Chain A
Amino acid sequence: MKKVLLKTEGLSKSFSNGGVLQHVLKNIDLQLYEGDFTVIMGASGAGKSTLLYALSGMDTPTLGTITCGEEVISGYSSDELAVFRRRACGFVFQQIYLIDGMSVMDNVLAAGLLVNRDRKEVLARAKELLKAVDIREESWGKFPTQLSGGEAQRVGIVRALINSPRIVFADEPTGALNSKTGLDVLDTLTRFNEQGVSMVMVTHDMRSARRGNRILYLKDGAILGECDLGRYVSGDRARHEKLVAFLGEMGW
Chain B
Amino acid sequence: MRKSILIAASNLRRAKGQTAAITVLILLASAMLNLGLMLSLDYKDNFVRCFDNLHDGHVTLGISARDPGMEDFLEEVFREDGRVVEYTKNDALIMEGYFSYNGGEVNTEFVIMEKETALNRPVGRMEIVEEGDEKSGIYLPMLYGADGKIAVGEDVEITIGNHTMRYRVCGFLNSAMAGSHNCAMSALLLTADKYEELEEAGYAPTSTYVSVRIRDKAESEDFEAAVKNKVSARYQSVRLLSNNYELVSSSRYISQMICAGVVSAMAFIVTLITLVVISSNVIQYVQENMKNLGALKAVGYQSRQIVAGLLLQFLGVVLLAAAAGIGLSYCLFPAVNDMMISQTGIPYRVHFLPMSCAITLCVMVGAVALVVWLSAGRIRKIEPIVALRQGVLTHSFKRNHVPLERTGAPLQLALALKTCASGMKQNVTVCTTMLVLSLVLVFSALMVENVIVDMAPFINLIVGETADSCINVRAEAEEALLERAEAEEDITKLYLYNSEEVRHVDGVALTATMAEDFSQVNNQDVCYRGRFPRFDNEVAIGAKYACERGLEIGDEITLTAEGREADYLICGFTQISNNLGKDCLLTREGYERMAAFSSISFYINLKEGTDIDGFNERMEEQLGDGMNTAINILSVIEGSARVYVSLMRVIIVAILLLSAATIAFVLYLLVRTLLNSRKRDYGILKALGFTTGQLVLQTAASFLPAVILSTIAGIVVSSLVINPLTALFLSGIGIVKCTFTVPAGLIAVSGAGMVLLAFGLACLLALRIRKIVPVDLLAGE
Contact = CB atoms under 8 A, between A and B. Distances in A.
Contact of B405 (A58, A100, A109, A145): A109
Nearest to A115: B689
B369 to A, nearest CB: 33
Interface stretch (B210-218, B333-341, B734-742, B773-781): B773-781
Interface string B366-409: 00000000000000000000000000001101001001110000
A82 B690 contact: yes
B404 A85 contact: no
Interface centre among A82, A98, A114 (most CB of B within 10 A): A82
A110 B685 contact: yes
A114 B403 contact: no
B692 interface: yes
Contacts of A45: none
Given A123-B405, A145-B397, A102 B780 contact: no
Contacts of A141: 400, 403
Contacts of A91: 687-688
B537 interface: no
A190 B693 CA distance: 36
A49 B403 contact: no
A33 interface: no
A123 B411 CA distance: 13
Given A100-B395, A145-B397, A58 B774 contact: yes
Interface string A83-109: 111110101010101111111011001
B726 interface: no
A53 interface: yes
B691 interface: yes
A123 B403 CA distance: 12
A110 B694 CA distance: 13
Interface in B603-657: none
A89 B395 CA distance: 29
B771 to A, nearest CB: 11
A252 to B, nearest CB: 23
Interface centre among B395, B689, B691, B773 (most CB of A within 10 A): B689
B681 A99 contact: yes
A31 to B, nearest CB: 23
Given A79-B693, A82-B689, A101 B395 contact: yes
A171 to B, nearest CB: 6
Contact of B688 (A52, A85, A105, A106): A85
| Dominant secondary structure at the A interface | helix
A143 B400 CA distance: 8
B418 interface: yes
Given A78-B770, A114-B411, A123-B405, A103 B687 contact: no
Interface string A47-73: 001001100001100000000000000
| Dominant secondary structure at the B interface | helix
A115 B691 CA distance: 12
B419 to A, nearest CB: 8
Contacts of B686: 82
Interface in B154-170: none
A44 interface: no
A236 B689 CA distance: 38
B422 interface: yes
A141 B403 CA distance: 9
B684 interface: yes
A106 B777 contact: no
Given A109-B404, A143-B397, A97 B777 contact: yes
A159 interface: yes
Contacts of B779: 49
A229 interface: no
A35 B474 CA distance: 111
Contacts of A109: 404-405
Contacts of B230: none
Interface in B685-712: 685-693
Contacts of B691: 78-79, 82-83
A148 interface: no
Contact of A99 (B405, B684, B693): B684
A114 B685 CA distance: 10
A159 B404 CA distance: 14
B680 interface: yes
B404 A114 contact: no
A79 B692 contact: yes
A174 to B, nearest CB: 16
Nearest to B395: A101
Contacts of B415: 110
Interface in A140-169: 141, 143, 145-146, 159
A106 B693 contact: no
B122 to A, nearest CB: 81
A111 interface: yes
A84 to B, nearest CB: 8
B689 A101 contact: no
Contacts of A146: 397
Contacts of B684: 97-99
A152 to B, nearest CB: 13
Contact of A58 (B397, B422, B681, B778): B778
A101 B775 contact: no
B753 to A, nearest CB: 30
Contacts of B775: 53, 58-59
A111 B687 CA distance: 10
A171 B778 contact: yes
Contact of B400 (A52, A85, A103): A103
A171 B685 CA distance: 17
Contacts of A78: 691-692, 770, 773
A123 B537 CA distance: 84
Interface centre among B395, B690, B778 (most CB of A within 10 A): B778
Interface string A118-154: 0100010000000000000000010101100000000
A113 interface: yes
B778 A93 contact: yes
Nearest to B397: A143
A53 B779 CA distance: 9
Interface string B749-781: 000000000000000000000100111011110
Contacts of A85: 687-689
A106 B400 contact: yes
Contacts of B400: 102-103, 106, 141, 143
28 contacts: A49-B779, A53-B775, A58-B778, A78-B692, A79-B692, A85-B687, A86-B690, A89-B689, A91-B688, A95-B780, A99-B684, A102-B418, A103-B403, A105-B403, A105-B404, A106-B400, A106-B404, A109-B405, A111-B688, A113-B404, A114-B690, A117-B410, A117-B411, A119-B405, A141-B400, A143-B395, A143-B397, A146-B397
Interface of A: 49, 52-53, 58-59, 78-79, 82-87, 89, 91, 93, 95, 97-103, 105-106, 109-111, 113-115, 117, 119, 123, 141, 143, 145-146, 159, 171
Closest 5 CB pairs of A and B: A86-B689, A109-B404, A101-B395, A103-B400, A113-B411
Given A52-B778, A79-B692, 9 more contacts: A49-B779, A53-B778, A84-B689, A93-B778, A99-B684, A102-B418, A103-B403, A105-B404, A113-B411
